[in-house]
Chain A
């Protein structure tokens, strides 16, 4: 799979926050009964994490693995790109007697990281989300819109936001993020 390339091949721009494309990530969509033991076991086997609560993301192994709550019957599992196919097969096996859907969506996505003290402001310019530290922080997961496209994000730590969008709009989202983080555009709102 050496010829697999991400949408923007690691593009990066430094403003008052740094925006970079993180390259290929493994992602699996799981739909099923989130409170069933089978789903719990499948998630644990894949990413060594429990099923997250509403609006939450759980992260393990220094960020290499994560699982996010997408909706009452949907999870997003994050891992390395190379792991995804094997994890997928394992989960399908584990869930074969269940009514569940697991599907690889690694290639359907682009992932960006916004880092620096101003990362909250960059998001608050583009998404109708309360980004103040008391309202959103590490451990939470948000599906929303970013300007005119769907997006989701979480904060691995207080200085970093990771944004997931559809691959086809990677250029648009990168342009949005670098515009919102351009030097001189600091808002100074979140202290």
Chain B
């Protein structure tokens, strides 16, 4: 069993205890524990079940590479699945539960899959569930969905907060082990701005566990002194619990800081996503130990040798009383020595190398540990827990020589540098034959904007596994990074560590080397996704020769751990099966993030109230208080209508139209775009922007204009007012202001840069209110001494007036067909104006109205609306707006395009009015059908509805639409099928339904 030793645990505060629950069981740990070490202290070796076969799964590793020990963490608004226990710091009150089992961890029905494992090889789902086709959707998928997935999806809203942080540095050092510390020191001493980040809560990485001496003192002291020195440097920042998640183009790096995961009750954000721009990136990300592939290597109790000693030294944990070591390199001997020195049994070290180990092996032998060279594990005995191992000759086929009872197995298949961050942005790798791993090829680094490398690997991440060599490498990495960012590194040499001589690793990809199919089917490569040696070999036989194909066919490395333990072993097996050298097979692509990061950290502040900016007019709160029913228009919120108590949305709209037409309506039109265009060439410029002539407009007058893009399509419309000889005010649609302003600037800056024109978008400077209806003038006249009579301010004129002390501009324009003014005042006085108009209009039954009433009134008048009658493929000629296209002008934007053959095709659908035969309302977007069917078997069509409303003024449905030869077919009745299968009929009519002669607006 695994247990806590009486003493030891360098990271623990043994004087205090911490309570937590696992699967409802109350357990205890110490501050400083990870959740994994605390579970082991409570003999909770088995922590979950595998994805496919539901095999018992135990803790394998002690860090970010852990594939198995994932749990559902927390409850309610803090629930989160797939949390890695090895990187979860224990805190008081932590609750977690194991995943992927039913009904319980100990007894799991899904484990029956394992009994049929022989029938569930790689690609099984692809082959089995492809036929018959309909079965996938209705039978297979629902069944597979039920059994798939490790953790549960959260149900409640996340109650924590998250944020971003932008940091700019010369040198970013990723990894706070000895290499990272030394690199940061070397760069810092050169004067570079340095940020050193470490994903765990501790500095020093593996070195304090693995030992060694620097400058004659234990490596712990080096760590301590270096951290203190770095902390004292003003140009160096150190951050723990901050992982380098991804390296992107041009030195952009994402860092993932787990701010309060370890202290969930502390104030502040839970995670912080660092968006770092670095001149140079040093990846001092260390190395990950590889498992060995032998039968039963997934039984709980089989762990990485490094993890076994991490738990012993860091957390005072004995993983088992008797631990068998199995290795192909010298490093695993450290585990044997540490365990023995703690008084634990090491029944045997199985060294697969015929020649055995070097100095560390001698030390182990000196402690009286039995060492078997040239031997390996034939199979592990036990199901939910290791009970023993059967040993065999590595060179053979697995004939059992001896069985050794034990309750833990510490395995080491060698070390793979963590090259992920080096590779994210294109750093290339070389296969190092001697060390049997891929390491960065520093001649082929990721390159920045200037074509030179911006990532430098350091220490173990660069394949320098020895302490002395690693420190030296890191020192030169730090200096190189400083130099590349324009600093002058000192000449101080790297601190000297004692070199450790040893025997080289021997690559062992299968144990024993001649293992038969029965053993290979139990030799796991990917523990989380249940991929075995036999699966990769099957993939190769079936022709999945590319490593990327084999990965997807077998799912090797596709689990949440992204194959940190399995990838190299898997591609070595694939290479062997394809009979080609490993570099020829290559690796799969390393993609960010290094380990999963929370989606909420990516969203950052963009949630709840700050999910999206909402643009509010100056009178927004007034509308809110009036109970506005809101409509999003671009980023603005505009009142759709103002329902009264108990009134439906439809009823409110109808009421608002009627009240405006009969008495007086008020519309908040502040959202309309307002762009000042000024300069000696302003008139000439507007003549190019609009289809009609603007340069002839007189100061004091307004003109409606259409704006097309260079392809001739209608993009915006609005009223232009000439303020003075040189100055125009262009009104745009609500959603079009920024776009039109950008359009103007683009033409001015790229094509007509020598024209003397300046523009300014002053949309938000003004609150603008439409005062509409037969009583509009009477209402305004109450508020001003200025003459605004019909004669003084004629239709399509404007004037500056004073309304009760407020400077205002009155535009006499109408989008409703009524007597109508738009009043513009400084935005800060918008509420004052609104209140004033409500009060003055009270005697006329003033009625604020929303966008829907606006739409209905303009449709009754046959006015087009950008976005309804236009969709980016409509030209003004389609809308029968020839009157708004100047024939005198030599050119305007879109003119040439409108002369192309398709644009002048008489068969283009044209705008007409549509009146339903029975008075009902046509569905929006409905198509008018024609005789026959097209090549796809669909009904031919001859038109479509662009706007459709119930008109309270006419008491019937009215619509506009684009119809083939429409204007020539007045009176014809068209069929409009509805989605429910019935057909509506509508008659083609003139699109102006109301006050055709414009008498009402001209009073």
Residues of A in contact with B (beta carbons under 8 Å apart): 1, 3-7, 24, 29, 31-32, 73, 81, 99-101, 103-109, 121, 124-132, 134-135, 147-149, 166-172, 175-176, 179-180, 182-187, 189, 191
Contact = CB atoms under 8 A, between A and B. Distances in A.
Contacts of B758: 31-32, 73, 99-101
A148 B615 CA distance: 12
Given A135-B168, A185-B163, A101 B605 contact: no
B234 interface: yes
A4 B606 CA distance: 32
Interface residues on B, range: 35 or more
B635 to A, nearest CB: 8
Contact of A99 (B609, B613, B614, B756): B756
A71 to B, nearest CB: 10
Contact of A148 (B606, B617, B679): B606
B163 A129 contact: no
Contacts of B165: 121, 124-125, 187, 189
A175 B618 CA distance: 18
A175 B828 CA distance: 20
Contacts of B18: none
Contacts of A32: 758
A138 B214 CA distance: 46
A101 B676 contact: yes
A46 B358 CA distance: 83
A168 B636 contact: yes
A171 B614 contact: yes
A131 to B, nearest CB: 8
Centre residue among B260, B613, B766, B806 by max chain A CB count within 10 A: B613
A167 B764 contact: yes
A161 B431 CA distance: 52
B1002 interface: no
B870 interface: no
Contacts of A129: 166
List the 3 closest pairs (A to B, CB-CB), nearest first: A184-B267, A184-B268, A168-B615
Given A6-B828, A148-B612, A168-B615, A128 B269 contact: no
B838 interface: no
A180 B162 CA distance: 10
Contacts of B163: 125, 179-180, 185
Contact of A147 (B267, B610, B763): B610
Given A107-B765, A166-B764, 8 more contacts: A3-B831, A5-B828, A32-B758, A104-B765, A108-B764, A167-B764, A172-B614, A184-B266
B610 A168 contact: no
Nearest to A173: B613
A21 to B, nearest CB: 13
B168 A130 contact: yes
B896 interface: no
A29 B741 CA distance: 16
9 contacts: A3-B832, A101-B759, A103-B762, A132-B193, A148-B606, A168-B617, A175-B610, A179-B605, A189-B165
A149 B826 contact: no
Interface string B779-809: 0000000000000000000000000001000
B605 A147 contact: yes
Given A3-B829, A31-B760, A128 B606 contact: no
B828 A185 contact: no
Interface string B606-646: 10011011111110000000000000000010000000000
B764 A107 contact: yes
Interface in B835-849: none
A107 B234 CA distance: 43
Contact of B826 (A106, A134, A147): A106
A4 B826 contact: yes
B678 A101 contact: yes
B222 to A, nearest CB: 26
Centre residue among B266, B678, B680, B831 by max chain A CB count within 10 A: B678
A182 B161 CA distance: 10
Given A125-B166, A176-B605, A189-B167, A171 B616 contact: yes
Given A3-B806, A3-B832, A189-B237, A169 B760 contact: no
B272 interface: yes
Interface in B438-468: none
Contacts, number: 144
Contact of B618 (A73, A167, A180, A183): A167
A180 B605 contact: yes
B684 interface: no
Contact of A107 (B676, B766, B832): B766
A124 B167 contact: yes
Contacts of A7: 616, 618
Nearest to B763: A108
Contacts of A24: 828
Contacts of B826: 4, 104, 106-107
Centre residue among B676, B762, B828 by max chain A CB count within 10 A: B828
A72 B826 CA distance: 28
B166 A128 contact: yes
Nearest to A134: B193
B827 interface: yes
Contacts of B266: 184
Contacts of A175: 609-610
Nearest to A168: B615
A189 B257 CA distance: 13
B275 interface: yes
A187 B679 contact: no
A107 B756 contact: no
B732 to A, nearest CB: 15
A127 B260 CA distance: 23
Contacts of A169: 613-616
Contacts of A134: 193
Centre residue among B267, B615, B618, B827 by max chain A CB count within 10 A: B827
A179 B763 CA distance: 28
Contact of A125 (B267, B605, B636): B605
Contacts of A135: 168
Contacts of B613: 147-149, 169, 172
Contacts of B269: 184-185
Interface in B752-776: 756, 758-760, 762-766
B950 interface: no
Contact of B827 (A1, A108, A176, A179): A108
Interface string B257-280: 000100000111100100101000
A88 B360 CA distance: 84
B57 interface: no
Contacts of A104: 765, 826
Given A175-B610, A179-B610, A101 B828 contact: no
A26 B97 CA distance: 60
Nearest to B826: A107
Given A126-B605, A128-B275, A179-B605, A105 B829 contact: no
Contacts of B275: 128
B168 A132 contact: yes
B606 A147 contact: yes
B516 to A, nearest CB: 58
A161 to B, nearest CB: 14
A187 B275 CA distance: 13
Contacts of B167: 124, 189
Interface string B296-313: 000000000000000000
Contacts of B760: 29, 31, 101, 103, 105
Contacts of A121: 165
A185 B268 contact: yes
B164 interface: yes
Nearest to A103: B760
Contacts of A126: 164, 605
Interface string B855-899: 000000000000000000000000000000000000000000000
A187 to B, nearest CB: 6
A73 B829 CA distance: 30
